[in-house]
């Protein structure tokens, strides 16, 4: 597994949609499939919901991510001054299927 190049920040009270671009992990023509697993690694401070592959083109860090090449989820909670690691796991359409695992870092700041 590796660390995602994207870095996200939210305040303690914000409720945020988070998106992750996984194109760098996919082979040519390969797509994500199924429902991704999105889980906090070290604590239970965050609430992570609405976990899905992108079903339309999304923009991550100013770049357009084609359908089924990114993961999106909704995030609430967290303690200011903490950087959380969120592990994202998703299966691909490769033959045989691959399992992509990427760690996303989310920094929570004061309101």
Q: What is the pLDDT of residues 25-35, one digit of tens each?
A: 999 999 999 99
Share the mean pLDDT of the chain. 95
pLDDT value at 65 more than 70: yes
Residues in Cβ contact with 39 at an 8 Å cutoff, skipping those fewer than 6 apart: 48, 86, 87
Q: Indicate the pLDDT class of residue 1, thresholds 50, 70 and 90.
A: low
Q: Per the confidence metrics, is the pTM higher than 0.75?
A: yes
Q: What is the CATH number of domain 2-109?
A: 2.60.40
CA 22 to chain centre: 8
CA distances from 73 to 39, 57, 76, 86, 95 (A): 10, 15, 10, 11, 27
pLDDT value at 73 more than 90: yes
pLDDT value at 5 more than 80: no
């Amino acid at each position: 597994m590796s660390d995602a190049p994207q870095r996200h920040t939210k305040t303690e009270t914000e409720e945020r949609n988070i998106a992750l671009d996984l194109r760098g992990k996919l082979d040519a023509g390969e797509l994500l499939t199924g429902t991704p697993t999105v889980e906090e690694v070290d604590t239970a401070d965050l609430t992570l919901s609405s976990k899905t592959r992108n079903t339309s083109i999304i923009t991550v860090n100013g770049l357009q991510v084609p359908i089924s090449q990114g993961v999106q989820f909704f995030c609430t909670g967290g303690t200011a001054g903490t950087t959380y690691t969120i592990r994202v796991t998703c299966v691909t359409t490769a033959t045989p299927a691959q399992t992509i695992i990427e760690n996303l870092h989310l920094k929570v700041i004061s309101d």
